[in-house]
Chains A and B, each alone.
Chain A
């Protein structure tokens, strides 16, 4: 469609954010922009941000839903710190997001919605219109577009009601932004025709949406709003077939793949909870892969059913988020005691309690490691990116089944909903997961140990191997109930050592950036992209900074201690108050410092750069931890935080 009369500026990367009321369809607009950009060949990273309420009061700041996408012709790891183009569908969206736009950035506003009533709903002072405020008009290029009116006019002949017409505004806005970035419309048109036309059987609605999309596009072409358009060329990537994938989609696919590789039936038992439900949704729609899904009556039933599945010899998996993990704790301990495989996917969100259901956080690490009665060791893994959820789920299933041990996967809201391009793996090249079930009654003992201390996974249906498992302490070898003091001590050490032995299979860490020097950054989980970008930038600035990223939290890679010794200082950035830092300090007896952001949002690269510079310049001070405020980190006095 690139036959525009207007000049096109090539640009390396751009950050676009769609923001509107939670009923405005911003998530759909953002997802479509992502799909189109991925199919076009850009590298992409996204950050959806939506309220916990399905429909918060319309027009209020609390009800604003946003979707940010960073798309680039080079390798990128984050959704971007600053927004180049903001689309604000109403005053509340403008208010909630304007401070994130870079100076000189473009702000497209649906000016029809900047009415007295809507300004009041956004809690702006009476008589004040931010679009007339010089603080904004001088800092940004504000582009006023009467989106509501133009969309309504365009669709006046479709025969649709006012409500349905209004719902197409997001596509109108999307069309305009497609024009601005010279994107093709075909991916979105195909989606609209398939979803509304075929699946929902509403061809009229499909047609109207396509019409609105095109209208927005052509408006960009004809109206004299933008002096030029931008073009973000294809990214150079490894040869192969790609798709866009979110963390939750990747987790679902990883679990199915693991079951195939192990020749097991995947049985996913879960109770709906944000932000983990999409895994249940994905798997429920993939029954032709032999997947069984069980929507249990509660979190406890879900994990218990998964344990019943494991006991019976199939791949039992449960998925949840923080509060659900609390409820599952007792049952996870049963799997630890019975030494059965179990995979628990915990998509972390802001806590404690109900906390911030739709926001991201990394604050369940210590709960995953220690949040149960007794000495109860298990394996903890964490994916580093949306696509890594695929690999980590296969790894989790493999470890659980081969070592008869529960594995908790700590994903998070950012990874779960965020998207990136994913190179399709070659199924033929994937290594099978070998799982053995004993059959010989002569040699079988329920708690006989293999070399790595795992227990034989005998399954019902096998003659002669009838045995009883349970939560009571069991006698070594026989598996009979035992209250013997020495036996309990022995079994407790065995359970711990069994988990630690898995470290032998964990690959050694290779620092990114400087292999030794002034500062080592230790990260885990979803912060990988931000840390990686910061370390690259520090390297470009000639700074001596290296980073390692832990995907295995328990057991940790064996060479972490040696790597730590190669650096003068250690910084542990986390989206919590310092849970990994606590572990690192106690295990390695070092003065690790923490950058701890607890705002329900991922790190900005700028925040990490501030922390790096404070550490390198010896300006950090005595505080064990600092937190960013307003996108920056300073060595603040302790009290200012409270």
Chain B
């Protein structure tokens, strides 16, 4: 890196490429791409030190549109490829872009393991609840009864919650946001600043195969009643009038209550980013069950990063045994001389 490079300030446009962006017009991916470029500029990222790794699917075309290093790998395997990148060079800023099919179906295994290892990667899962690139089959997050080309009588698969999986897989940073939400920028920035595996679910509209799947979360009028913006240390209040909240009832189950006589703020749940049981509970709140869906940072704890621990073991081995030489490698004891 030259001196002039080191001090130059990049703006969002510097993170674009000459490639035409080829998502369908109106796709939610555009909004995420724009915010991502802005965040890269805002956090002072360097193009040469940033790598975007993806698998297969609409979302996985992302690296082609970022003016950084990029690797559009194979279906579901981006977390594994990205792990290799971090093992080889822990100094790089590495982002993984995946979708509900890529990350939760074919690549579910890798997602689980990259999170538990706490490799210092930022993982963005674009959840549009449909298979877009293969033209409209149901995905692991499609709602029960979803009618698609491959489920003409309705899907009989139960959908899963990406965030429940992330919490269960020992992720150290778990968040959710929406493609067109103003909070997207903040959540991406917080993810970028986290040391360790950061998992961000982004509700994303596939306007061709699953349009308006997240209307309840994007409609200006409705969303304040349907979403709960999480703030660490604050009571869980939501609603256009900010008069509704979440509390635990007598059976320790969450319920929606209206603030007023008999229900004070102190009765509500207070968000605690370090409480994984709470994070899991929040990940179970579904719009279809009459709950607001929590947005923002569910869970955030500090933990050692995998690639650093790998380096530490090498350092420990070297301090105990000295840096290995080839002579010592070949001659490890049971050798003999032929005169």
Contact = CB atoms under 8 A, between A and B. Distances in A.
A and B form one complex: yes
Interface of A: 35, 38-41, 187, 237-244, 253, 256-257, 260, 265, 267, 269, 286-292, 294, 296-298, 300-302, 304-314, 316, 330-331, 334, 338, 423-425, 427, 430, 460-472, 480-481
A244 B326 contact: no
B82 A237 contact: no
B81 to A, nearest CB: 4
A470 B326 contact: no
**Which of the four size classes fits the interface of chain B?**
35 or more
B64 to A, nearest CB: 5
A468 B334 contact: no
B75 to A, nearest CB: 8
A269 B84 contact: yes
Contacts of A239: 338-339
B262 interface: no
Nearest to B331: A424
B73 A304 contact: yes
Contact of B109 (A260, A292, A298): A298
A304 B109 contact: no
Nearest to B88: A312
B13 to A, nearest CB: 14
Closest 10 CB pairs of A and B: A308-B84, A470-B72, A312-B88, A304-B80, A305-B84, A289-B324, A468-B70, A427-B326, A301-B80, A287-B317
A308 B87 contact: yes
A464 B109 CA distance: 35
B71 A461 contact: no
A461 B83 contact: no
B81 A308 contact: yes
B91 interface: yes
A334 B73 CA distance: 7
A225 B89 CA distance: 64
Nearest to A257: B326
Contacts of A423: 338
B326 A237 contact: no
B320 A308 contact: no
A465 B330 CA distance: 39
B57 interface: no
B63 interface: yes
A218 B26 CA distance: 88
A257 B329 contact: yes
27 contacts: A41-B338, A238-B338, A241-B331, A241-B336, A242-B338, A243-B330, A253-B329, A256-B324, A286-B329, A287-B313, A291-B314, A296-B80, A297-B80, A297-B112, A300-B110, A301-B79, A305-B80, A307-B81, A308-B86, A309-B88, A310-B84, A311-B71, A316-B88, A427-B325, A461-B89, A466-B48, A468-B69
Contact of A301 (B49, B86, B113): B113
A40 B338 CA distance: 10
A182 B77 CA distance: 57
A459 to B, nearest CB: 8
A308 B82 contact: yes
A471 B314 contact: no
B81 A242 contact: no
A42 B49 CA distance: 55
Contacts of B337: 240-242
B64 A481 contact: yes
Interface in B304-337: 310, 313-314, 316-318, 320-327, 329-332, 334-337
A301 B78 CA distance: 9
A39 B326 contact: no
A39 B336 contact: yes
Contacts of A310: 84
B8 to A, nearest CB: 10
B70 A39 contact: no
A294 B114 CA distance: 12
Given A243-B332, A290-B324, 6 more contacts: A243-B334, A267-B87, A297-B109, A305-B83, A331-B74, A465-B48
B88 A472 contact: no
Nearest to A313: B88
B47 interface: yes
B64 A289 contact: no
Contact of A237 (B86, B329, B338): B338
